[in-house]
Structure 1
Amino acid sequence: MTVKILSVALCGILFLTTGALADQVTLSAAASLREVVTGLTDAYRTKHPEVRTLLNFGASGTLAKQIEQGAPADIFISANREWMDYLQNRKLVDEASRCAFAYNSLVFAGITKQPVMGMKELVRLRRIAIGSPRSVPAGEYAAEAFRAAGIEKELAGKLVMAKDVREAMKYAELGEVDGAFVYRTDALLFGKKARILFTVPAGLHDRVVYPMALTATGAGKPGARELFRFLQSAEARKILGKYGFEVK
């Protein structure tokens, strides 16, 4: 009798644990998406209170490396194509699910009193913050724009590397640098002192796109697939627009 009761209890615990894991979705997204992705998942959970979403934000390259090393992730949203390609080439994301989540613009923001209205005027500044191009897409876009504008060598000793785009924005806001290359959405959201000085011409760098995909693990989870569909819905696009992101 005792054995039977114990067996039933263990089965119940196993069922509850399995159910909890099935309703848990882990989403890794670029740092510049923190507020909008949090808002989107909050909206999703109002309709699906049984789903638990675990959010992980950081530089796209850092997140991609984490996934490669086995960190749990069901959905990945990168701030550029490169790091999504990186995982796709290693068959760590579901290629069929890959799509464009949103778009953004690269701007230069700061509190410097010097007139800075374009790329050529950057050479007069002392310190400029960018995300490290090795892992931060915003920094990579900025470096690409420097090369296209022909000012890469002149800026070499002026650059302050940040761990992600949010840290670069913080440096600009605190006045620790003359300005920083960040996304338009970050400048609008966090620019209390720092203001947008100019928008980087689109022709100087690849379009700022956030590709999204289910991971190889997430593709097999119904809960992850449901959240993924929501992130592509009209409701999600409306929320993205409120945060300043472009959806076309």
Structure 2
Amino acid sequence: MKKSLFLSMCIAMMFSSVHAGTVKVYAAASLNNAVTEISRIYQAQHPQTKIISVFGASSALAKQIEAGASSDLYFSADQDWMNYLVHKKLINSSSVHPILLNQLVAISPK
């Protein structure tokens, strides 16, 4: 819930300058549920803006951007792929902001 709320606030801030048109979001597959729900809510409040979400592996999305695919927002699950796009000068380093963190937890019986 915290993750969805925080992501919602971040996307709202990023979309705040968009009043009409189409916004293309490239996001890691692990964000599918959160981005889809946030997009649905945003579009209900701003029907003049269409959000197109593309989900996949961070590496695959980064390679698509490198190949010329257009994206307004890119949410990577891997900092290295974000750095890769910055190094290739496809993303301005001043526009990179870590907003979410993941943690792997292993659970086993006693």
Q: TM-score range by the shorter chain?
A: 0.7 to 0.9
1:66 aligns with 2:61: no
Q: Quick one: which of 2, 22, 25 aligns to 2:23?
A: 25
1:93 aligns with 2:60: no
Distance 1:26 1:102 in 2: 20
Name the structure 2 match of 1:48.
Answer: 46
- One-letter code aligned to 1:26: K
The alignment-based identity, stated in percent, is 41
1:40, CA displacement in angstroms?
1.2
Name the structure 1 match of 2:81.
Answer: 83
Name the structure 1 match of 2:15.
Answer: none
Distance 1:102 1:40 in 2: 15
Aligned partner of residue 53 in structure 2, secondary structure: strand
Question: 1:177-204, CA deviations, whole angstroms, 9 ceiling, x for partnerless residues?
Answer: xxxxxxxxxxxxxxxxxxxx7xxxxxxx
Higher normalized strand content (fraction of residues): 1
Give every structure 1 segment of 4 or more consecutive aligned residues whose post-TM-superposition deviation is greater than 6 Å.
Answer: none
Q: Which runs of 5+ in 2 are unaligned?
A: 1-19
Aligned partner of residue 71 in structure 1, secondary structure: coil
1:100, CA displacement in angstroms?
1.6
Name the structure 2 match of 1:217.
Answer: none
Q: Following superposition of structure 1 onto structure 2, how do residues 164-175 of structure 1 map, counting pairs within 5 Å? A: none
1:101, CA displacement in angstroms?
2.2
1:105, CA displacement in angstroms?
1.4
Aligned partner of residue 64 in structure 2, secondary structure: helix
Distance 2:99 2:40 in 1: 17
CA contact (8 A) 1:77 1:101 kept: no
RMSD: 1.7
Distance 1:41 1:92 in 2: 25
Aligned length: 90
Aligned partner of residue 48 in structure 2, secondary structure: coil
Please identify the structure whose Cα radius of gyration is greater. Answer: 1
- One-letter code aligned to 1:38: T
Q: Which runs of 5+ in 1 are unaligned?
A: 1-21, 109-115, 118-196, 198-248
- Normalised by the length of structure 2, the TM-score is 0.74
- One-letter code aligned to 1:70: G
Question: 1:202-235, CA deviations, whole angstroms, 9 ceiling, x for partnerless residues?
Answer: xxxxxxxxxxxxxxxxxxxxxxxxxxxxxxxxxx
Aligned partner of residue 101 in structure 2, secondary structure: strand
